């Protein structure tokens, strides 16, 4: 029984001369299948450059008003109260 099974399996085995031809064909078939089903990747988004820091008024420090020594405030003459 085992001898018959081995004989059947040996008859189904690949031809040793065909092994050298079939491996490159299989590789080519896989490469074609991969190329046919491959999806194009979306391009990477470009990084957004950081926004420049707004210019800060030197007199009021960007507050829009100047605090005087006695505690009262006046609108900044340089930026007219717009921080």
Q: Which tens digits make up the pLDDT trace of 24-77?
A: 778 788 888 888 787 778 888 899 988 887 778 888 888 888 888 898 888 888
Helix runs in 1-83, H state only: 2-12, 16-37
The pLDDT of residue 61 is: 81
What's the number of domains the chain is made of? 1
Determine the Cα–Cα distance for residues 80 and 74; give it in Å rounded to an integer.
Answer: 10
> Domain residues for 83?
57-83
3-state secondary structure of 74: strand
* Residues 54-65: tens digit of each pLDDT: 778 888 888 888
The answer as to whether 20 is a domain residue is: no
* Predicted model pTM: 0.33
The two tokens of residue 14 are: 């690949």
């Amino acid at each position: 029984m085992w001898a018959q099974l081995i004989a059947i399996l040996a008859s189904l085995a690949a031809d040793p001369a065909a092994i050298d031809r079939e491996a490159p064909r299989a590789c080519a078939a896989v490469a074609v299948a991969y190329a046919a089903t491959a999806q194009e990747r979306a391009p990477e988004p470009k990084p957004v450059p950081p926004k420049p820091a707004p210019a800060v008024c030197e007199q009021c420090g960007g507050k829009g008003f100047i605090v005087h020594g006695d505690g009262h405030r006046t609108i900044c003459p340089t930026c007219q109260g717009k921080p």
